[in-house]
A and B are shown apart, each in its own frame.
Chain A
Amino acid sequence: MLEVAGVGKRFGGLTAVEDASLHVREGEIAALIGPNGAGKTTLFGIVAGFVAADRGSVRFAGEEILGLKPHVLARRGLVRTFQLVEPFAGLSVRENIAVGCQLRQPRRAAALAEAAAVAGRVGMSELIDRPVSALTIAGLKRLELARALATQPRLLLLDEVMAGLNPAEIAEMVPLIRAIREAGVTLLLTEHVMQAVISLAERVYVLNDGRIIAEGPPARIVADERVVEAYLGHGAAGRWPRRLGEGGAHA
């Protein structure tokens, strides 16, 4: 469904992304991981249309989308969430979600009603008419998810959706994301929270210094020497115990 090929981006003298390629199959949950500064956000931004790439190609459902604006991509079914959740202040949860619904539902009243249904899917029904200022971080994350879902996406890009959540909240979020996939949405996540990656992802890409250095199922990735080195430094692979993948370690 998503094919990223040879994407590169430089900011002045700094190469943020270099020859990055990945693909996500329809109905799959894929994850993009890597240490801070690896270029995950930039790559995400390129795919979602927020950052212009210097070279490469991005194909969505068979069509080239590199260079298209975010709102065009959203209409085609490619939607992203933001790591730093900023809801539409001053509005209620329902009104926030309704903005997403509006993409497919031109009538305002119907959009507001649909918003309630979407809120139910992420478990926010009781909060539907509260102002967004009353939400906790976990609530904001769910709102972000709901807003994106409201647009009826085919591919959802989740930008560190687990960031800022405590283990209990993470444990609640994981089945939620799985349910979204069950409903027919393809997912690409960037994540730091390894527990979530291992639980959810079928395929993991590792980005380091702007390059994809590894690809594969989570269990294999976590044990991969190059990945360990990328996260923990040169020579760490030899010193670190082999059983990293078991028990869901937090990175």
Chain B
Amino acid sequence: MKTPAIAAAAPLLALAALPLLLHSDFWLHFAIMTLYLALLGQAWNLLGGYGGQRSFGHAAFFGTGAYAAALLQLDFAINPWACMVLAGGFGAGAGAFLGALSFRYGLRGSYFALVTLAFAEVFRIVADSVPFTGAGVGLQIALKESVADFQFPEKSGFYAVILALTAIATALAWWIENSRFGAALVAVRENEDAARALGIDVDRTKLWAITLSGALSGCAGSFYVQYFLYLDPRIAYGVEVSVTALLVPLIGGVGTVLGPLVGALALRALNEASSALTGGAPGLNLVLYGALLIVILALLPDGLISLGTRLRRAGRLRALGRA
């Protein structure tokens, strides 16, 4: 289902006006986190949705970007804005590394999922053991509240940044849907052998996808660091990030431009609702995530975005039955 440019751009333009309407910190935080989830989801969707290579260890790219952003500013005094760009680079590097290994050895499906999981875990253990990354204690960024240091006194500043990042990621997804590269990627997803026979370099295509995906994830990681000013191995490389990254597009609609946006909103809303109900008890959040994953797979495997089509089809069938 192709998304016309208008449909992709409209929600983002509307969102740009949001800070003018919202003044409560609570709602701005909600919006920021939603867009952050959407960014992560778009990143995963590039590789897993359009590319069909479902990774269970996207934290490997996210965390690498996050640690890069944190360490570059803490230990090397590099400007945090530049750190974001570099974080994207590190994320891309992690993606390329993992991709080169996995795809060169022909890993697909469950094996690919397993190897990404394994890498994320290895990175986590290393980060947890090595003093350079602060080991288990983690890293703390000093509160500066100056725009030059990529910290904003007002939340609206962060909002603008994450909106821009998510807009770029969404634009990338739209471009993929309409470009030659995207068509090749989808062909690879559907049938690798047929794609090869038609002249597509399957390995190179997948490698590009994972590199782009890694870059976006790395940026998301660096944003996290700037917003929360704290990072530890579990946050960076833990299962929660990896699961969130795949849950967002799956709920919203894999392989679509707006799916991650819809999924992010749904997930964030669920998060808030469950926190309110359970009082933020440890673990309950993720229980809900797991349950949601199963329910979505059972009832709406094509995601929330397909709800419209499904209802229409059901309506049509019912009309036929009555006629």
A residues engaging B (CB < 8 A)? 48, 50, 69-71, 74-75, 79-82, 86-91, 95, 98-100, 102-103, 106-108, 111, 147-148, 150-151
Contacts and interface: CB of A to CB of B under 8 A. Distances in A.
B187 A99 contact: yes
29 contacts: A50-B193, A50-B196, A69-B201, A70-B193, A70-B197, A71-B195, A71-B198, A71-B201, A74-B198, A79-B197, A79-B198, A81-B197, A86-B194, A87-B190, A88-B187, A89-B190, A91-B186, A95-B183, A99-B184, A99-B187, A99-B198, A100-B199, A102-B180, A107-B180, A108-B178, A108-B179, A147-B194, A147-B198, A151-B198
B199 A88 contact: no
A74 B187 CA distance: 15
Contact of A88 (B179, B191, B196, B201): B191
Nearest to A104: B199
A100 B198 contact: yes
Contacts, number: 79
B196 A69 contact: yes
A17 to B, nearest CB: 20
A99 B200 contact: yes
Nearest to A150: B198
A161 B158 CA distance: 59
B191 A106 contact: no
A170 B3 CA distance: 39
In this complex, the member of A88, A106, A148 whose beta carbon has the largest number of chain B beta carbons within 10 angstroms is: A88
A48 B180 contact: no
A71 B183 contact: no
A60 to B, nearest CB: 15
B78 interface: no
B202 interface: yes
Contacts of A106: 180
The 4 lowest CB-CB distance pairs between A and B, nearest first, are A74-B199, A103-B199, A70-B196, A88-B190
Given A71-B202, A88-B191, A89-B190, A99 B197 contact: no
Q: Secondary structure at chain B's binding surface: helix, strand, loop or mixed?
A: helix
A147 B184 CA distance: 13
Given A74-B199, A151-B199, 12 more contacts: A50-B193, A70-B193, A71-B201, A74-B196, A82-B194, A86-B194, A87-B191, A88-B187, A102-B184, A111-B180, A148-B198, A151-B198
Nearest to B205: A71
Interface string B36-58: 00000000000000000000000
Contacts of B194: 82, 86-88, 147
Interface of B: 178-180, 183-184, 186-187, 190-191, 193-202
A88 B198 CA distance: 12
B108 to A, nearest CB: 15
A71 B190 contact: no
A102 to B, nearest CB: 5
Nearest to A85: B194
B183 A98 contact: yes
Contacts of B202: 71
A80 B198 CA distance: 8
B183 A148 contact: no
Contact of A148 (B191, B193, B197): B197
In this complex, the member of B180, B183, B197 whose beta carbon has the largest number of chain A beta carbons within 10 angstroms is: B197
Contacts of A95: 183
B183 A108 contact: yes
Contacts of B191: 86-88
B114 to A, nearest CB: 25
A94 B200 CA distance: 17
In this complex, the member of B179, B183, B194 whose beta carbon has the largest number of chain A beta carbons within 10 angstroms is: B194
Nearest to B201: A71
A74 B184 CA distance: 14
A206 B319 CA distance: 58
